[in-house]
Amino acid sequence: ASIASMDMRLLLQDDVFVDFFNTFLNLPVFGQTPIYISGMGRWYLWPELPSHLDPSTAALLAWLEKHRLPHFCKSSLCLHLVLCQKLLGFIRSGEAAELLNWQSADQWLLERCISGSHGMQHFRAFVQGTAGEELIDFWLITERLLGLNESDGSQRDLFLSLVHRLRATHLREGSSVITLCTTIVGSLPKAKHIQSISTRREILSKMQEQALFMIQSYWLPKFFMHCKMGMEEEESCQPLLQEYQERLSQASWQEPPGLSEPFPTMHIKRSQGVSGPYCSLKAKAQIWALVKEGRDTQESKMATFQVKPERHPGPAGSAEEFCLDKDALGSIPQQSGHPANTAFGGKRGVTFPGRPQSSAEQNLENLCKEKIFSDLLPSASLAQLPSLKKPVKTLDFLPWALSAEACAGRPFRDFLQCQNRSMETHLLDLWHDLEEFLPVVLDSSRENSFFLRHLIGEKICKTYLEEDSIEKLPLETRTLVSLWNRLICGEFSPWIFRAQKEICKLLCCLYEEFLADDDRMFLQFMAPGSDVPMPKVPGHAAGRWEHFHLSQRMNQSLKLSQALHGTRSLEGISSKHWQLLGARDLQKGGSVQAEMKLLL
C-alpha cells in the first residue's frame, strides 16, 4: 500500500525498486515492455514509438503509475521487494552492527549480495531445504494476507485461500514457524480457532515479526559468510572483494563524491526511422517467431530428447545496450519451463513406463514433451540464427504470456473481469491453479510438498471439477474426468497439459483484445489524438539481433519472477550465482541485464 501511494519519480530514485520493477515490466504478458537504466536516467521503450514523436517522461510516468504499478503491487515481486527492503534496513542499522559486530564494509558487501531480484533469488536458493526457507515463505504469505480486507468480496477468496495454505503448512504442529513462535500463539489449536479478526491479525503480525527477526539475525549472517567464501573462488567477483578489503582497511570509509551527485535527467531514448501502425501483438509475434524457430532448429539436431532436471527456463530477455558475440547465443525454449523435467525418466528423458500406449496416451506424451522441453544447446552461431519467415499465431506464445501473468499481478484476469467474461475468468483461474500444482507435485523436495499438493489438488477438484461445475466448463469431458481422478488424490496427471492447451485455445482471441487494449491505453498517454505508427522491422540481420536481445531480456525476467513466485524450482547454488553477482550493477539494468553480460 505504501508503494502504491508513492510518486513514481520518487520510487525510481531507489535502485532496488528499479531492479524489481524492471523485472516486472519485462514480463512477456504485457504489450509495452519498457526498461529503465537508472544510471543514465534513460527509458527504452518496446515497441518503440515513431521517431517524429517526442514522448514526454511525465506522460510515461503517469501511464506507469496507472497501468503498471497497481499490478506490480499485487505481484510476488513486490512482496520480495518489501522483504528485501526490510533486510537492507536491518543490515544498515546500528542494531545489526552491534548484534553481529559488522563493520560498515561488511554491511556494504552484504547489501551488494542481497539487493535486487537476483539477490533475493540467491538468498532463497541458499536457505532452500532449511528452516529458513519455511520462515521466508511464511513471512511472504502473511505479508500478502495482512494486506487484504477479508470483508471485501473481491478479496475474500484470495484471503481464505492464503489462510488455508498457512494452516496446511506453517501453522501445523511441528512446523518451524510454530516451534519458533510458540510463546506468541500458545499452541496451534488455540491459534486456529480464534474468531476475532483483529486478534487473529495481531497474532499473525507478531509471528511474522518473530520470523523476520530470525531471518535477519540468524540466516543473513550465515548468508554473508556463504557469499564471502563463494566470491573468493570467482574471478569476476575479485573487484568487489578488493573494494571490500579497501573499505575494511579504513575505519571511517567516505563514499566517493560521485555517488552523491544529482540523479541524471530522466529521458526516453528516441526511436530511429520507424513506421507502420503501433501494435504490440505483431511485435510479440516477430520475437516469438525467432524463439520458436530457434528452438525447432536446435531440437531437430538432437538425436534424443534430453531433459535437465534442475533447469526450467521460460522464454527470453536482454537490452540493446549490449551486443552479442556471434557464438554466445543461449537457449530459448518454446514455452515456460516447469519442474516437470524430472517427471518421467529423470536425466534420460521423458517416458511413460508400463503397458503399451493408446493413441490418446501417445498424443499426451508428445504434448508433455512439448511442454517440458527446456534448454536448447547454446551452440547456435550467427549463421544459424533463423529467419523470420513463418507466420506465428497468438496461440503459439500464449502459454508463455500466461506463465508470466501469474507473476505480474494478473492483469489479463482484471481485463476479463472488466469485460464481464466470468466463464473465461474461471478458465484462466483453472489454468493458473494447474500451473501452481505442477511444481509442487513434481518436486517432492519442496518444503511442505506433500501437504500442498493435496491442498491444491482438492481445491482444483472442488472449485472446477465437481458435478455442478464440470458441466459448465467448455472443456472436453474426458479431460475433466481424467483430471479429477488424479488430482483428488494429489497426484500428477499428464491431462494437466491437455487441459491447459484447451484453455489457451478458448482464451486466445481475448488475449489479443487485452493487448490491443493495453496499446490503446499506452497511446492515450504517450500520443493522445495521433495515429501512431509501429516500428518497422530494421534490416534483416539487425532485426533478428534486436529480437533476440529482447527475447533474452524477457526470458530473464520470467525466470527470476517464476523462481520467486514459486512456479519454477530454485536452482541450486552454482558458479553462475557468483558470476551474476560480479556482473550485476543495479544502475545499469541490474538483474535482467546481468545474464547478458555473462554471454559477452
* More confident: 348 or 584: 584
pLDDT at 321: 37
Confirm if 7 and 579 have CB atoms less than 8 A apart: no
pLDDT at 185: 53
Confidence of residue 310 (pLDDT cuts 50, 70, 90): very low
- Find the angle CA(43)-CA(45)-CA(51) to the nearest 5 degrees: 105
CA distance 44 to 546: 13
Which ranges of 443-494 would DSSP assign to H, the alpha helix? 449-464, 467-470, 477-487
Confidence of residue 277 (pLDDT cuts 50, 70, 90): confident
Residue 30, phi then psi, degrees to nearest 5: -85, 165
pLDDT in tens, 137-173: 999 999 999 998 888 888 888 888 899 899 888 888 8
Check whether 253 has a pLDDT greater than 70: no
CA distance 215 to 74: 23
Sign of CA dihedral 589, 595, 596, 599: positive
Element (H, E) at 43: strand 42-44
Across the range 525-529, mean pLDDT stands at 79
Burial degree of 405 (CB within 10 A; 0-12, 13-18, 19+): buried
Check whether 136 has a pLDDT greater than 90: yes
Element (H, E) at 108: helix 104-114
Which ranges of 37-130 would DSSP assign to H, the alpha helix? 57-67, 69-72, 76-91, 94-100, 104-114, 116-127
Element (H, E) at 35: strand 35-37
Confidence of residue 284 (pLDDT cuts 50, 70, 90): confident
Q: What strand order describes the sheet that includes 267-268?
A: 35-37, 42-44, 267-268
CA distance 16 to 381: 35
pLDDT at 294: 56
User: In this structure, what C-alpha cell is assigned to residue 470?
Assistant: 464440470
pLDDT at 255: 56
Check whether 259 has a pLDDT greater than 90: no
Domain residue ranges in the chain: 75-182+201-244
pLDDT at 581: 86
Check whether 134 has a pLDDT greater than 80: yes
State the chain's mean pLDDT as an integer: 78
* Residue (of 137, 106, 554) closest to 314 by Cα position: 554
Burial degree of 565 (CB within 10 A; 0-12, 13-18, 19+): buried
Confirm if 274 and 535 have CB atoms less than 8 A apart: yes
- Find the angle CA(227)-CA(232)-CA(234) to the nearest 5 degrees: 95
pLDDT at 425: 95
Least confident of 113-127, 180-194, 281-295, 545-559: 180-194
Across the range 75-84, mean pLDDT stands at 96
* Residue (of 79, 61, 60, 56) closest to 6 by Cα position: 61
Confidence of residue 256 (pLDDT cuts 50, 70, 90): low
pLDDT at 331: 31
Peptide bond into 47 cis (omega under 30): yes
CA distance 462 to 575: 44
pLDDT at 199: 79
What are the residues facing 36 on neighbouring strands?
Answer: 43
pLDDT in tens, 12-69: 999 999 999 999 999 999 999 999 999 899 999 988 887 777 789 999 999 999 999 9
Across the range 115-128, mean pLDDT stands at 94
